[in-house]
A and B are shown apart, each in its own frame.
Chain A
């Protein structure tokens, strides 16, 4: 085209393939690690002995390791692999700085290693998908900026005036993830590896799921769509089906996605208008999502005859189809009546894995099979093995998802089942026992998927061995002229896409609107969260107990949110109110009920029940699948941290009396001795300074305040 300045002084330069290779290796290695952790967690649900009675290998810690590893390590490195390869070629320029590329790569791997170590050790914020503690949060922000800097540097020195649609997806990813990460990670440090969320209760929940949902949107979706828009046309060797569609789909997607977060909080104690917003926008989301899927599939259709022979295309077809399925299901799950059934069950887990295994996994595999032979100037070692990987992986996805859909719906219906006399028909434990064959089948599906991934690793290693790596790929292109001659009938959008910085700002504005409209009312209007006079701050011992609850990841299996359904109030007690959570930094509503809700557990059982149950759950509940926590009986509560914790809470506005921090330790000891004495009464001898005492204090507190309020009003 004329405006691309076809002057004839071509510049010679080279593409940096080394950085692409490193990210490719990292995504393979971390993919296997993360999936193995997932498989372990899946097996632990069936065979609790696999928790090994050790803190480090207990489900509540393994599960966050799995989620963090597959999202931020497997997909994260996959994103960077795709971006670093395609960006250079689309812009006809080497990455801005090899040094920044290296800092980015090693910084990201450092974050992953730190994450793994701290999560194993139980250092966690207790917020799902944002578990990493504040020093790592800061490191993530820094490395993210390095990535952005490197990307924008490259964009600025590009030799191609126009930014292809994939690059907008990368830019939107960069700005939005930065915003989400920073807003959600605002926390007040207590010590180097401990902090409290700045937000409490309802607000924390709104921020967390705004973040959580958009992590799906802007970490697992938009960068991968960018990758799809580059690698799918590349692999089929024809342009994307409709470029116009890609523009509409891009803007609609980023605009709508940002609002959808509250669909994770339907029927909870969040304001009604926020829930309605979440539902409306989630349903609308189907349109731009399917815009992307249709564009992907129709691009592939141009090479339908080749799909049978080319394994890369097979992976792409399933990936895009899985994206379509997951994004159809997502809006359905956001409908209130469907959500009433699906929420807190394995249905959600199945839904997520269709996206994760199908869309992210298969797209990554397809790109790897396409890319590695090219980087090494050779042919794939074995097409047959790759084809086997495809089939075993697809079978793995089906075997993973189908049993969980079934199990999730079945369990939910059992939870809601009443006898004709109006009694709940099933004990919670009955529903857990019913899950076991399904959980076992899911683990088989996961195993197949993992085996496929290992086969790919072998295939690629063999390919690499046979090839010779091109570290710097020579290329040439004309430099951009400094003056841009506009077209007569200039198009607004081309004006934007010539200006990457404006494009970034516009994307930021678009995504910020959603966030702002969602949060401002929740934060400014106090009446939004009415206080309940009987709700008091946690005692120091309960606070310590709560931190143990966070550390052990109890929230990965237990909710603390009774929804206003008869089936839930009959099982657990009064439904949860927003005012109950005003001192909860962070909130612990959870998202999955592998075990029963604990919002009303206080006073349900004697202290000794909890003691025995934590030491060995099966001693209290036959066939329980909950891990045992024997170390809580040995380890002492870290009393020295109490002062700092109370002070931090005071800074966050929790109304402990002034100077309370100094006497908190004494209060703590007093309360602990009462619990130790009550245990003694039941024949259990234990020191009052043990962690189990603090945890019991916390559990016995849950839901007590509301019960207190009822008594007060009754007495009046």
Chain B
């Protein structure tokens, strides 16, 4: 029995890493686009949240 036999025995298995990468890329681009479209004052507001309590 050769190592390679059962590694390659799922048909089309090579597509798995590709599909996964693709899903990730789409998602990542979506996040990126939306983040950079976001408005500055909004992020400014969020940033200040931990600092707004005085203790």
How many residues of A are counted as interface, with CB atoms below 8 angstroms from the partner's CB atoms?
Answer: 59
Partner of B50, one of A234, A251, A252, A276: A234
Residue of B whose beta carbon sits closest to that of A272: B7
| Contact flag A521-B50 (CB < 8 Å), given A247-B35, A473-B55, A491-B42 | no
Question: Contact between A530 and B5 (Cβ–Cβ < 8 Å)?
Answer: yes
Report if A411 contacts B (CB, 8 A): no
Question: Contact between B6 and A527 (Cβ–Cβ < 8 Å)?
Answer: yes
**Nearest CB of chain A from residue B8's CB, rounded to whole Å:** 7
Q: B53 — which chain A residues lie within 8 A by C-beta? A: 89, 92, 475
Question: Contact between A273 and B6 (Cβ–Cβ < 8 Å)?
Answer: no
The B interface is mostly helix, strand or loop, or mixed, namely: helix
| Contact flag A491-B36 (CB < 8 Å), given A280-B17, A517-B16, A578-B6 | no
Q: A273 — which chain B residues lie within 8 A by C-beta? A: 7, 10, 13-14, 16-17
B14-40 contact mask (Cβ, 8 Å, vs A): 1 or 0: 101101110110011001101111110
Question: Contact between B34 and A162 (Cβ–Cβ < 8 Å)?
Answer: no
Question: Contact between B34 and A579 (Cβ–Cβ < 8 Å)?
Answer: no
| Contact flag A491-B39 (CB < 8 Å), given A162-B45, A162-B49, A239-B51 | yes
Question: Contact between A244 and B43 (Cβ–Cβ < 8 Å)?
Answer: yes
**Nearest CB of chain B from residue A553's CB, rounded to whole Å:** 30
Q: B32 — which chain A residues lie within 8 A by C-beta? A: 248
Q: B45 — which chain A residues lie within 8 A by C-beta? A: 1, 162
Question: Contact between A527 and B10 (Cβ–Cβ < 8 Å)?
Answer: yes
Rounded to whole angstroms, the CA-CA distance of A489 and B8 in the bound complex is 50
Q: A99 — which chain B residues lie within 8 A by C-beta? A: none
Residue of A whose beta carbon sits closest to that of B14: A273
Report if A529 contacts B (CB, 8 A): yes
Question: Contact between A259 and B38 (Cβ–Cβ < 8 Å)?
Answer: no
Question: Contact between A256 and B24 (Cβ–Cβ < 8 Å)?
Answer: yes
Rounded to whole angstroms, the CA-CA distance of A624 and B49 in the bound complex is 58
Question: Contact between B55 and A240 (Cβ–Cβ < 8 Å)?
Answer: no
**Nearest CB of chain B from residue A611's CB, rounded to whole Å:** 34
Question: Contact between B9 and A530 (Cβ–Cβ < 8 Å)?
Answer: yes
Q: B9 — which chain A residues lie within 8 A by C-beta? A: 525, 527-528, 530
Question: Contact between B47 and A240 (Cβ–Cβ < 8 Å)?
Answer: yes
Residue of B whose beta carbon sits closest to that of A202: B6
Question: Contact between A513 and B23 (Cβ–Cβ < 8 Å)?
Answer: yes
Q: B10 — which chain A residues lie within 8 A by C-beta? A: 271, 273, 521, 525, 527-528
Number of A-B contacts (CB under 8 A): 125
Question: Contact between B6 and A530 (Cβ–Cβ < 8 Å)?
Answer: yes
| Contact flag A521-B49 (CB < 8 Å), given A251-B31, A529-B6 | no
Question: Contact between B17 and A276 (Cβ–Cβ < 8 Å)?
Answer: yes
Partner of A160, one of B16, B28, B49: B49
Report if A583 contacts B (CB, 8 A): no
Report if A610 contacts B (CB, 8 A): no
| Contact flag A252-B17 (CB < 8 Å), given A162-B45, A564-B3 | no
| Contact flag A272-B19 (CB < 8 Å), given A89-B50, A493-B35 | no
Question: Contact between B50 and A233 (Cβ–Cβ < 8 Å)?
Answer: yes
Q: A577 — which chain B residues lie within 8 A by C-beta? A: 1, 3
Q: A247 — which chain B residues lie within 8 A by C-beta? A: 31, 35
Question: Contact between B50 and A528 (Cβ–Cβ < 8 Å)?
Answer: no
Q: B19 — which chain A residues lie within 8 A by C-beta? A: 517
Rounded to whole angstroms, the CA-CA distance of A280 and B38 in the bound complex is 30
Rounded to whole angstroms, the CA-CA distance of A280 and B7 in the bound complex is 17
Question: Contact between A165 and B46 (Cβ–Cβ < 8 Å)?
Answer: yes
Report if A33 contacts B (CB, 8 A): no
A91-104 contact mask (Cβ, 8 Å, vs B): 1 or 0: 01000000000000
Q: B21 — which chain A residues lie within 8 A by C-beta? A: 280
A575-596 contact mask (Cβ, 8 Å, vs B): 1 or 0: 1011100000000000000000
Question: Contact between A252 and B28 (Cβ–Cβ < 8 Å)?
Answer: yes
Question: Contact between B31 and A491 (Cβ–Cβ < 8 Å)?
Answer: no
Residue of B whose beta carbon sits closest to that of A4: B45
Rounded to whole angstroms, the CA-CA distance of A374 and B55 in the bound complex is 8
Question: Contact between B6 and A233 (Cβ–Cβ < 8 Å)?
Answer: no
Question: Contact between A243 and B43 (Cβ–Cβ < 8 Å)?
Answer: yes
Report if A494 contacts B (CB, 8 A): yes
Q: A340 — which chain B residues lie within 8 A by C-beta? A: none
Q: B17 — which chain A residues lie within 8 A by C-beta? A: 273, 276-277, 280
A208-239 contact mask (Cβ, 8 Å, vs B): 1 or 0: 00000000000000000000011001100111
Q: B3 — which chain A residues lie within 8 A by C-beta? A: 564, 575, 577
**B interface with A by C-beta (< 8 Å):** 1, 3-10, 13-14, 16-17, 19-21, 23-24, 27-28, 31-32, 34-39, 41-43, 45-51, 53, 55
Chosen A-B contacts, 17 in total, with CB atoms closer than 8 Å, are A89-B50, A164-B49, A230-B50, A233-B47, A239-B48, A239-B51, A243-B46, A252-B28, A255-B28, A272-B13, A276-B17, A277-B17, A280-B17, A281-B20, A510-B27, A521-B13, A579-B6
In addition to A244-B35, A276-B17, 19 A-B residue pairs with Cβ atoms within 8 Å of each other are A164-B46, A234-B51, A238-B51, A239-B50, A244-B36, A248-B32, A251-B28, A252-B28, A255-B27, A271-B10, A271-B13, A281-B20, A491-B39, A493-B35, A494-B42, A529-B6, A532-B1, A578-B6, A579-B1
Q: Which 10 A-B pairs have the closest CB atoms?
A: A239-B47, A272-B7, A164-B49, A243-B43, A527-B9, A273-B13, A530-B6, A251-B31, A89-B53, A243-B47
